[in-house]
């Protein structure tokens, strides 16, 4: 296999495994002195082929490092996007917005993922202390930064600092409340680094914590779930899917179970599940249905968007999406959040995104949507 086939193979390996990345998340790249090839936006790692890679001119990408952009967030991101497009050789394939980050990490192969176990540490209160304990004081952590150009500049500056201090390039970049970048000369080395990292974190999950890694999904079809689906399908006008598992039900029984999953941990969670969720604890079926309707309406009035996740004690996780596939992704992403909350307990407890950070992503989403509609790229 040549380098690009190796890149595609490693992308599919991790992309197909929900423990590493869900839906369209994560991205990978390969670069030589002149060109960088990166996963095109709108494609998924799980199915990535060499033909799905966007190709960019690295010399032209440098412009983004050097140029001064607008202070206005939306205007700035638009300007950066235009410069990214100018550097893109494959005009029909648009590169991911994270391409500039890949470009400044000084290794040919880069694999960026959001592994559940890594995020159990990255979304924990004691992230700094525990990361240094487990991976040494040179472990390279980027404190949470709004995604897009600001995150790229932050990483670029921090890499420069790291180089001055340690006289070497960081190979692993840990991103608080987001995930991880790993760079190497070969894809074998990348796999070894990921395996070592996961093993080490796993080995430090407290044994007193019930295994959050695997869960048994219950298959069921009851009258109450049928009624819930009918009521919510009518309310939402979309698709409704109920999934239940011991992992999901656990949040009603463990200490702070609901509180610990009431706010998003990473930006992707907001994209798929939004940042507020409904939790219902009602034994009586009639009261449950009534309560659901009331909760749905007051949620809508308070948040100005419809709920995507409703978790019901004794019933399961209700995903409200635009399609069956959307519901499946919502379920996976929220289950991932439940696991992150559980793992984080071994590292000082859960540390979700702040209201300000959440707000930035919500606005960004609205803007992106508006732009897509305006340009007919829906």
Site for Zn ion, rule CB under 5 A:
179
Nearer to Zn ion, 268 or 326 (CB): 268
C-alpha dist (Å) from residue 8 to 57, 89, 91, 124: 20, 19, 20, 32
Nearer to Zn ion, 21 or 64 (CB): 21
Nearer to Zn ion, 110 or 280 (CB): 110
Nearer to Zn ion, 23 or 87 (CB): 23
In whole angstroms, how close is the CB of 361 to Zn ion at the nearest point?
12
Name the residue number minimizing CB distance to Zn ion. Answer: 179
In whole angstroms, how close is the CB of 19 to Zn ion at the nearest point?
15
117: left (phi over 0), alpha (psi -120 to 50) or beta: alpha
What is the chain's Cα-based Rg?
Answer: 21
Nearer to Zn ion, 118 or 247 (CB): 118
How many C-beta atoms surround the C-beta of residue 204 within 10 A? 15
Contacts of 201 (CB under 8 A, 6+ apart): 117, 118, 120, 121, 134, 343
In whole angstroms, how close is the CB of 340 to Zn ion at the nearest point?
14
183: left (phi over 0), alpha (psi -120 to 50) or beta: beta
Contact in structure between 292 and 280 (CB atoms under 8 Å): yes
In whole angstroms, how close is the CB of 14 to Zn ion at the nearest point?
13
In whole angstroms, how close is the CB of 172 to Zn ion at the nearest point?
15
Helix (H) or strand (E) holding 234: helix 223-236
Nearer to Zn ion, 20 or 107 (CB): 20
Q: At what angle do helices 73-87 and 355-375 cross, to 10 degrees?
A: 60
In whole angstroms, how close is the CB of 368 to Zn ion at the nearest point?
15
Helix (H) or strand (E) holding 245: strand 239-245
């Amino acid at each position: 296999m040549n380098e690009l086939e190796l890149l595609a193979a490693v992308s599919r390996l991790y992309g197909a495994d929900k423990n590493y990345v869900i839906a369209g998340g994560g991205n990978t790249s390969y670069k030589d002195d002149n060109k960088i090839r990166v996963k095109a936006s709108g494609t998924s790692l799980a199915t990535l082929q060499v033909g799905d890679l966007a190709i960019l001119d690295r010399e032209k990408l440098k412009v983004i490092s050097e140029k001064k952009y607008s202070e206005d967030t939306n205007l700035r991101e638009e300007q950066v996007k235009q410069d990214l497009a100018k550097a893109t050789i494959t005009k029909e394939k648009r590169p991911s917005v994270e391409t500039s980050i890949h470009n400044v990490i000084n290794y040919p192969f880069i694999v960026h993922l959001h592994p559940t176990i890594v995020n159990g540490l990255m979304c924990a209160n004691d992230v700094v202390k525990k990361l240094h304990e487990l991976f040494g004081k040179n472990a390279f952590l980027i404190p949470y930064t709004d995604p897009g150009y600001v995150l790229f500049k932050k990483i670029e500056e921090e890499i420069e600092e790291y180089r001055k201090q340690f006289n070497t390039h960081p190979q692993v970049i840990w991103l608080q409340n987001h995930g991880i970048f790993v760079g190497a000369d070969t894809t074998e080395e990348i796999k070894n680094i990921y395996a070592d990292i996961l093993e080490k974190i796993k080995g430090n999950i407290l044994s007193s914590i019930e295994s959050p890694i695997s869960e048994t999904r219950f298959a069921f079809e009851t009258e109450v779930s049928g009624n819930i689906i009918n009521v919510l399908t009518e309310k939402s006008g979309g698709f409704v899917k109920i999934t239940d598992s011991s992992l999901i039900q656990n949040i009603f029984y463990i200490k702070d179970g609901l509180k610990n999953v009431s706010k998003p941990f990473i930006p992707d969670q907001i994209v798929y599940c939004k940042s507020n969720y409904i939790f219902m604890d009602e034994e009586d079926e009639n009261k449950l249905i009534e309560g659901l309707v009331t909760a749905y309406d007051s949620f809508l009035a308070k948040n100005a968007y419809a709920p995507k996740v409703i978790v019901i004690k004794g019933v399961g996780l209700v995903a409200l999406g635009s399609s069956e596939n959307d519901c499946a992704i919502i379920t996976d992403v929220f289950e991932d959040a439940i696991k992150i909350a559980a793992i984080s307990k071994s590292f000082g407890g859960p540390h979700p995104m702040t209201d300000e950070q959440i707000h930035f992503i919500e606005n960004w989403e609205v803007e992106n949507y508006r732009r897509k509609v305006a340009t007919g790229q829906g």
